[in-house]
Amino acid sequence: MILSDKTLKELIKNGELVIDPIDDQSIQPASIDCRLGDHFLLLEETKMNVIDFDNEIHYREITAPSINMPPHTFLLATIQEYVKLPDDLTAFVEGRSSIGRMGLFIQNAGWVDPGFEGRITLELYNASSLPIKLEAGKRICQLVFCKMDQAAETPYQGKYQGQSKTVGSRVFQDLDKNLVKIDQ
């Protein structure tokens, strides 16, 4: 079940759901708008020949109130809001329609697990043929919350728990990476 603005306000008021900072304008009929932070990561292409699952990916860190994103480029960014989900609530990260119509695609693997706590890292792609100026504090995405049928038996405690700024891929830390064996 997707949660309404009324339910979201109640959960925030009683402390079950944490979104900080938040104001009434951020709460939409069935979502909460989140604003772009000022911390960005760009792939450091000069330090890698290939990106693979087994090695740490190198990024160039940028902290700035705005950044111009060239056409057809990818970067990581974070939201300003600190989010803490209870064990019986999950959220989808969705781009805002007005932002998508500019050619900016927003993703975060689309999902925030119950029990997650921290600032959400966004994956951004400029599909436009023109640069897009990104400014900290602008509404960039929205969180759509869903109530689970019961609390998670094992809430999220993964490798991105507690992140306070943009975090690059940590796929190289996956415990299952050595378990896949393919007979040849």
Active site residue 123: yes
- Taking CA atoms, 173 is separated from 81, 127, 130, 160, in Å, by 26, 30, 36, 11
**Domains of the chain by residue range:** 5-46+63-172
d(CA 148, CA 150) in angstroms, rounded, equals: 5
- Give mean pLDDT, residues 117-127: 96
Q: In the structure, what pLDDT confidence band is assigned to residue 10 with cuts at 50, 70 and 90?
A: very high
Q: Kindly report, residue by residue over 43-85, the tens digit of the pLDDT.
A: 988 888 888 888 888 999 999 999 999 999 999 999 999 999 9
- Taking CA atoms, 89 is separated from 3, 9, 86, in Å, by 10, 14, 6
Q: Which residue has the higher pLDDT, 47 or 34?
A: 34
Q: Which CATH superfamily is domain 5-46+63-172 in?
A: Deoxyuridine triphosphatase (dUTPase) (2.70.40.10)
Q: Which residue has the higher pLDDT, 80 or 177?
A: 80
- Taking CA atoms, 110 is separated from 44, 123, 126, 163, in Å, by 24, 10, 17, 17
- Taking CA atoms, 108 is separated from 23, 44, 130, 149, in Å, by 23, 20, 23, 24
Per-residue confidence (pLDDT) for residue 12, from 0 to 100: 98
**Residue in 16, 44, 61, 123 annotated catalytic:** 123
Per-residue confidence (pLDDT) for residue 169, from 0 to 100: 82
DSSP, residue by residue, 104-122: EEEESTT-B-TT-EEPPEE
Closest CA to 77 of 48, 105, 112: 105
CA angle 27, 138, 38 (to 5 degrees): 120
- Whole-model pTM: value is 0.89
